[in-house]
A = this chain, B = another copy of it.
Amino acid sequence: MEKEISQAVIRRIPRYYRYLGELIDDGVERISSNELSARMRVTASQIRQDLNNFGGFGQQGYGYNVKYLYDEIGNILGINQQHNIIVIGAGNLGQALANYVKFEKRGFVIIGLFDVNPALNGISVRGIKVRMMNELEAFVKKERVDIAALTMPKEKADETANMLVSLGINAIWNFAHLDLELPEHVVVENVHLSDSLMQLSYNIAKQRKRKE
């Protein structure tokens, strides 16, 4: 039986993946937890502990095989398979997501953009056509959609998310500034930019006090 891994660990794992990808680009084939620790600025014991959650991968006195670890973490993160994404809200943020070529390299492929604004109807972003919301249902029934990104105003976000779930989409990448109320089986990942700004301002205030 697999043990439950905490979301705190899961939050750190993509960072390992990013660093290992850079090591591969640099031609590094193996690395000790101490070297990885210096590079990532986390303790070596933290690294060993995190990776032990997934069965270790390390070999005493040898270190980690970078490519193997990279691939294994990729498997764990589920990015060994393609994820099709639709973006609901084709404003600046939706278009920004559609323009991120890097997502595609990781298997996250944006296959559709949707909006209610007729001015956007039919325009293309990096070859991805913007469709109107009334075309959504037919689209989802035809294409496999794994993730819906919500980059729309918060007022209609909850309703839209529930509609998407009723169409069989079980994962929401939510940029709307509210907590969605969805059935328990739905996986939600929030990007709350205002919350992030407030965290920043808290840390600015703290830093100022420290200086005084």
Chain A residues with a Cβ under 8 A of chain B: 2, 10-11, 13-15, 17-18, 40-41, 76-79, 83, 91-93, 95-97, 99-100, 102-103, 106, 108, 146-147, 170-171, 173, 177-179, 185, 187, 189, 191-205, 207, 209, 211
Contacts and interface: CB of A to CB of B under 8 A. Distances in A.
Contact of A106 (B76, B106, B194): B194
A108 to B, nearest CB: 5
Given A11-B199, A92-B95, A96-B91, A191 B194 contact: no
Contact of A102 (B79, B187, B194): B194
7 contacts: A10-B202, A18-B194, A77-B205, A79-B198, A100-B193, A170-B204, A187-B200
A202 B96 CA distance: 23
Nearest to A98: B92
Given A10-B199, A205-B78, A177 B18 contact: yes
Nearest to A7: B199
B194 A199 contact: no
Contacts of A189: 196-197, 199-200, 203
Contact of A92 (B15, B99, B177): B99
A144 to B, nearest CB: 13
A99 B89 CA distance: 14
Nearest to A22: B178
